[in-house]
A and B are shown apart, each in its own frame.
Chain A
Amino acid sequence: MKRDLSIPFLALVVALVACGNGQDGAGLGGELLVSAAASLTDAFVEVEAVFEDANPGVDVVLNLGPSSGLREQILEGAPADVFASANIPNMDQVVEAGEAADPQVFVANRLQIAVPPGNPGEVTELGDFSWEDPLIGLCAEDVPCGEFGRQALQKAGVIPAVDTNEPDVRALLTKVAEGELDAGIVYATDVASSDGAVEGIDIPEDLNVVAEYQIAALTNAPNPDAAARFVEFVLSEEGQEILAGYGFASP
């Protein structure tokens, strides 16, 4: 006798599809390697915690460093799932190489002058960067904060008497905080998250350079589902709120 197998069959298909895709939160799992610019450190640590709470099977691993270095790693075939770059050119290179598609700008970051507490070098504006006396540090040219810092100085018509080009923004911050440098140009977020270790001096809007941060799930991500979910989360209201708490501006 022929039985009607259509409904059990349909149920089986739905079940299989659901298991296969695992699109609902309960189905996500595994390791998620997020390569993010160093300036996102504190913000992304919180993002990681909140994301892992919401997606218990996922273990987010943060790979933090200068955007250019992370870009190179990805181009060399590093098994990252998500790339969050502190500037557009780095992301462009990754996209061009076919490693990512459809990047989104997710936050913006403004530059600020960082000085040690008490401002012993008495630095008040970009113009002061041209004096020999104060010890000035910038990020290295190929690092986004170095590129943007130089752009700002150029806009202000200042030729800086640089004493050191630090390989990444954290190194620069540390030296300013310790008083080994009198001033440096860093992101507003770095000043905010330093908890008073450095003081920030605003750069006027017409001179300031806004860094647009882009995020994308990588094409060859080992864990594409979790990657897409993570990007979604960062762009969501909740994610944006977390980022704003660290001094980032909305895109």
Chain B
Amino acid sequence: MSTDEARPRDAKVGRPPGLVVVLGVLGLAFFAVPFLGLLGRVPWSDLPELWSSDVVVDALRLSLVASVSSTLIALLLGLPLAWLLARVDFPGRSLVRGVVTLPLVLPPVVGGAALLFALGRRGLIGEPLNQATGLVLPFSTWGVIIATTFVAMPFLVITVEAALRNLDRRYEGAAAALGAKRWTVMRRVTIPMIAPSLVAGLVLTWARAFGEFGATITFAGNLQGRTQTLPLAVFVALESDRATAVAISLIMVIVSLAVLVGLRDRWWKAL
């Protein structure tokens, strides 16, 4: 393989057409301008005080706890589900896939209402559960986790199912021929080979869970320290105190950017 390092050849070859550049920049502006608007409203001098208030600290803690928990639950339940969808041809598979995708399409508030109908105190499962154990899921931190998992898990299932489908199954055959039992094949071959997609799926899941609002406020309610995540805190603050609202929004932007930028090109390629 010869390398030609003489001079950069991108001068004439491979440059995108002008129109593409223009539209691309417009697209970027579409995203960037609202953020710049947000930045313009930040009360920079008050930030330390605003950020250390207990409202913000509680909300940040809850958001992190809920989003990370959701991601883990999504992994635990979503990976096997994706496996079944990708590998097993069971009757009604398309329907199942449709149902799994539903939270992506429904407005989150509708999702929250559905969760109430199922798991609320008078809910399909919630009522017998409450009567048997006294457990109440809405208005609790677990309620938040359930709401965020509900809207975020589809991301993981879809990403992983696609990755499994695209995987060359002959590698698994090779592993089996070498003597690896099914579990070993999954652990040492399948999952490492879909790792980039899996990580990308997990990050998307986390991001969606972190930003979740509608289902949370409908199902889990809004109480500082117990259910008031960052998005809810922003919403409530918007009513009374724009400065606090903007300060909290800034936290969300920083945390999200940190995670997503940290993700690097490498993982994005797998999406």
Q: B-contacting residues of A (Cβ < 8 Å)?
A: 66, 68-69, 72, 135, 137, 140-143, 162-167, 171, 175, 178-180
- CB neighbours (8 Å) of A142 from chain B are 236, 239-241
Interface stretch, picked from B25-33, B162-170, B185-193, B216-224, is: B216-224
Given the interface pairs A72-B242, A164-B139, the reply to whether A180 lies near B122 with Cβ below 8 Å is yes
14 contacts between A and B (CB under 8 A): A72-B238, A140-B239, A142-B236, A163-B223, A164-B223, A165-B222, A166-B221, A166-B222, A167-B222, A171-B217, A178-B116, A178-B120, A178-B122, A180-B121
Tally of contacts, chain A with chain B, CB under 8 A: 60
- CB neighbours (8 Å) of A179 from chain B are 120-122
- CB neighbours (8 Å) of A68 from chain B are 239-240
Q: A-contacting residues of B (Cβ < 8 Å)?
A: 116, 120-122, 136, 138-139, 217-218, 220-224, 226-228, 235-236, 238-242
Q: Which of B138, B223, B240 contacts A162 (CB 8 A)?
A: B223
Q: Which of A163, A167, A178 contacts B239 (CB 8 A)?
A: A167
A143 to B239 Cα, complex, angstroms: 8
A68 to B135 Cα, complex, angstroms: 35
Specify the main secondary structure of chain A where it touches its partner: mixed
Q: Which of A69, A72, A143, A165 contacts B223 (CB 8 A)?
A: A165
Least CB separation from B109: chain A residue: A171
A69 to B217 Cα, complex, angstroms: 17
In contact, B138 and A140 (Cβ under 8 angstroms): no
Most buried by A among B136, B218, B221, B223: B221
Most buried by B among A68, A69, A165: A165
- CB neighbours (8 Å) of B120 from chain A are 178-180
Q: Could you tell me the distance in whole angstroms from the C-beta of B227 to the nearest C-beta in chain A?
A: 7
A142 to B238 Cα, complex, angstroms: 10
A193 to B228 Cα, complex, angstroms: 30
Least CB separation from B126: chain A residue: A180
Most buried by B among A69, A143, A180: A180
- CB neighbours (8 Å) of B235 from chain A are 167
Q: Could you tell me the distance in whole angstroms from the C-beta of B226 to the nearest C-beta in chain A?
A: 8
In contact, B122 and A72 (Cβ under 8 angstroms): no
Least CB separation from B241: chain A residue: A142
- CB neighbours (8 Å) of B241 from chain A are 142
A68 to B237 Cα, complex, angstroms: 10
Least CB separation from B218: chain A residue: A171
Least CB separation from A143: chain B residue: B239
- CB neighbours (8 Å) of B138 from chain A are 135, 180
A165 to B235 Cα, complex, angstroms: 12
Given the interface pairs A140-B222, A179-B121, the reply to whether A163 lies near B139 with Cβ below 8 Å is yes
A115 to B236 Cα, complex, angstroms: 24
- CB neighbours (8 Å) of B223 from chain A are 162-165
Q: Could you tell me the distance in whole angstroms from the C-beta of B9 to the nearest C-beta in chain A?
A: 52
- CB neighbours (8 Å) of B240 from chain A are 68, 141-142
